[in-house]
Structure 1
Amino acid sequence: MSPPRVRVIDLETAGSGPNDVCEIGWQDVVQDVDGRWRLDDARGARLVNPGHPIPADTMAVHHILDSEVAGAPFWREVAPGVLKPEGGVLALAAHRAAFEQRYCTPRHTGGAAWICTWKCALRLWPHLTSFSNQMLRYQRMPEGLVHELGLPAHRALPDAYVTAHHLRDLLNETSLEQLLAWSVEPGLLPRVPTGPDRGKPWRRLDDEALRAFARDRDAALRFSAETELRRRGGTPEPAPAEPAQRTLI
């Protein structure tokens, strides 16, 4: 019988369309009988034919060539086997999982729950200065991470391998249920990320500044400011409704 597992996913893409994936990588994190989590040997990557030429700006990030994906299967053929492996998963995971979820839709995943390691890192390691996948790697230096297996960055398998080390440590600090709960909420930023108050903890802002952030279009900014207002016993003003289609200026 297979141990309980969470499968970490990373995608490289050739555009923002639902089938524009050009590579998928995965790394499993499994739970031993003593309750501790570890990386498993189950990992891999597959190239995917996006059905059109890869734009130069995205090629410059991941360096995947059209000639490499020309004979690869399409996303609809690749996705189910990776996202719904035999034996199932407790959840899927990714760093900033909202990106992967744009392509790994419930039709492909069978409706699996997702863990966002970015959102969870914000909660458990708020003292860190940056929360990108690679910055977490070098700030934290996770135990057992083989440097060469995590390279090159911006390729699906190495990035999934790095993310899996963050996930393992998150799971060994708190419960799967807690990570899932945090992952359905916006990111709770430990500090103000932009503007004249950049770098300040939210508790150092006055109520007026917090209310301004609570009206921002960015969900993480709104949620972080609202959380501090609630901590003070206040009630955030509702964010203004956005038009169905924004006016371009």
Structure 2
Amino acid sequence: MPPPRPQIVRVIDLETTGNAPPAHGVLEIGWQDVALGADGRWELHGEGGWRFVNPGRGIPPVTQAVHHILDEEVADAPYWHDCARQALDPYPRRLALAAHRADFEQQFCTPALTGGAEWICTWKCALRLWPDSPAFSNQVLRYWRKPHGLEHARGLPAHRAFPDAYVTAHHLRDMLNEASVAQLLEWSQAPGLLPRVRFGPDRGKEWTEIADDSLAGFLADRDPDVRFTAETELARRRGGGHVGRATAQQLLL
């Protein structure tokens, strides 16, 4: 009998002409799988992959300056709706898709293209698991954490689809070895829980350190992550909830 196919979470990264579909389109997709091994540990699985995508419009110079993809490089590539499902809904069926700041990818990777997949946001999960990081971008986490096995050159250049997916996959692997898939999905469905205040007189402080009147000012903030964090800290002060790293017992629930 052939060995059973592993359970996988597929990490996705997109390069696009902008951040507001349908006005903007996908230029490039990269992916890297993370699989549950026979020993119960998660590891990178397979070589991953990438492909150019024809966005159906010109690439603005502002975005070319980020990823350096040229119009002529994508001119003969397939359109997004002709190639997306092959990358987003692989066989064997994955447990979930993942991306760093997955809300962005989800704008382009609609349920019709993903088969209704659930998403893990490694940015939101990093806020929960590694609140001491100096910042939470994919690349800051890379150099702060120095994930085991990450080949430096394979994760470059930054802001290209496969290298970014490859780096994110190392973060996801380590997250899955600290917390369950269900826990990461739960955190990903909520707004981000910020470990420190990002602006104002209390900038850089932990939320537990700021005064009640300062906290009250954040409860009506326009940023849903700030508002959610302030609400969570208020609940903690009233006897429930927490802000910051969860305990090992909480991670396993």
Coarse TM-score class (shorter-chain normalised): over 0.9
- For 1:1-249, list aligned pairs within 5 A: 1-15=4-18, 16-18=20-22, 20-233=25-238
* 1:142 Cα offset (Å): 0.2
Q: TM-score, normalised by structure 2?
A: 0.91
Aligned to 1:245: none
User: What value does the CA root-mean-square deviation take over the aligned residues?
Assistant: 1.2
Which AA in structure 2 matches 1:14?
T
Ranges in structure 1 where 5+ consecutive residues have no aligned partner? 236-249
Aligned to 2:247: none
Alpha-carbon distance in structure 2 between the residues aligned to 1:123 and 1:138: 18
Q: Deviations over 1:177-215 (max 9, x none)?
A: 100000000000000011111100001111221121110
SS at match of 2:39: coil
* 1:218 Cα offset (Å): 0.4
Q: Deviations over 1:11-44 (max 9, x none)?
A: 0001222360000000000001121000011400
Ranges in structure 2 where 5+ consecutive residues have no aligned partner? 241-253
Alpha-carbon distance in structure 2 between the residues aligned to 1:117 and 1:51: 30
Would you say how many aligned residue pairs link Structure 1 and Structure 2?
235
* 1:139 Cα offset (Å): 0.1
Aligned to 1:244: none
Alpha-carbon distance in structure 2 between the residues aligned to 1:42 and 1:185: 31
Alpha-carbon distance in structure 1 between the residues aligned to 2:199 and 2:26: 31
Which AA in structure 2 matches 1:49?
N
* 1:234 Cα offset (Å): 7.8
Q: TM-score, normalised by structure 1?
A: 0.92
Alpha-carbon distance in structure 1 between the residues aligned to 2:195 and 2:85: 36
* 1:2 Cα offset (Å): 1.4
* 1:144 Cα offset (Å): 0.1
* 1:128 Cα offset (Å): 1.1
Structure 1 stretches of 4+ with a deviation exceeding 6 A read none
